[in-house]
Structure 1
C-alpha cells in the first residue's frame, strides 16, 4: 500500500512537470527595420490595417483593412477627417482566430473584415512613414494580448522627415513583434505632427499594422520529463525487492 501511495504521488508530481513544461513561448519584440531591411527579409503580408490622412473634403478613406492586393473589392474602409497635429489617437486591432475576422478601431470608428481565410498570425510589423518636411508619425503605448499572455511593448515605431527636402517611401521604420499565438488584441496610440500649412495627405503621413501568416513558436516538453515517472517507479520497485 505504501508503494502504491508513493507511486501515485510521484505520478502527480510528474504530471505537474509535464504540464508545466508544455507552454507556448511568449510574444517578443524582435527589433526595428528600415524599409530596405524589411524588403530584404522577403516577408509575405497577406493582410494589413492602415491609418492615414486623406484628401480633405473628398470623402477619401483614412482607415482601412486590406489584403495583399489592396484592391477596393478586398478592402473595408472608413473616413476620419478630425486629425489634430500632435494629438494622440487611440486604436485597436483584434483578430478572432475562430471566426477568422479582423476588427480595426481608430478614434472610436470600427471596421471589420470577415472570412479572411487565415487562421493564425505569428508576427506583427508596425510600419510608420512621414514624407513631408517637418512631419512625424509615432505609434506607441502598445499593449498586446494573445492566447498565452498579456503585456506592454515598450518599443515604438516612429518616422520623421526634416531637412527641407522632403522624404520618400524608403524613409520608414518597422517595429517587429513575433511569436504571437492564437487570437490577439493589440491596442495603442498614434500621433501625427506637421507644420502649419504643410499638412500631409494620403500616405505621406501614415502607419500600417502588417500581419504575417503562421503559428507562434511552441516549447515542447523535455524528453527527460516524460520518462521521469517510469524511472521513479523502477527505483521504488528495485528498493522493495531488496
Structure 2
C-alpha cells in the first residue's frame, strides 16, 4: 500500500522535486544539504572504514522524525520535525525548520538561541522556506496568546504586558437540569481545567445540542463576565503590534 505524500519531507525517493533548491549546511559542507522545501539529504562521500580503510557511501534523502508536544489548553499536539546529522563520529539532532531557515539566511545554527522559527500556517510539518518566519520569544508569546494556545492559569506568571485575546473566548455556564446557573467559566478551555475534568469537545457538543453532559446543562454565558477579567490586564501597546508586523515584513 502506497503512502500518501502530503508534505515534501515524506518523499524520500524523488531526487529533486519541482522548484527545489539545495544548499550546503554550515559545518556539514560536503556531507549534507537542505532544500527550500524542507527536505534534507546526504551527499555521495568517502568515509573511514575499520577494515577497508575507506568506504564509499551513496547520498540519499533522509527520513525525518515527528516529535509531538501536547498542548493541554487546546487538547491537541504541536508537531516538530527533527533530523539526525552525523559528522566526525558525532550525531546532531536538529530541528528541521531551524535548519532550513538558518541555512538559506546564512545564519549559524549555534547562534541566535533567542530567535524562534515559526511556521506561518501553524503547521509544524510544513517546513517550506516560504512558510517560515523569525520571531523573538516575546513575539512568539503574543502569537500563542492570540490563538488561545496557553493555559489561562499560566498567564498570571507572565509579565504584565501579556494580555490574552479575550475576543475569541466563549464564556460558558454550567447549569442544573432546571437551568439554574451553578458555575460560570470564562472559556471552554478553563472549564476543562476544573476539578470535574470535563471534556471540551463534549461541552461544545452539549451547548449546540442542548443535551446534558455529566449531569449538567451547558449554555453560552454573557460576555460581560469577561469584563472583570479583562480589566486585570493592561491593553497591549500599539507600537508593539507594529513591531511584530515589521518583523514579518522583513522576511
Length-normalised TM-score, structure 1: 0.19
Q: Say which structure, 1 or 2, has more relative contact order (CA 8 Å, 6+ apart).
A: 1
Q: Going by fraction, where is helix more abundant, 1 or 2? A: 2
Length-normalised TM-score, structure 2: 0.19
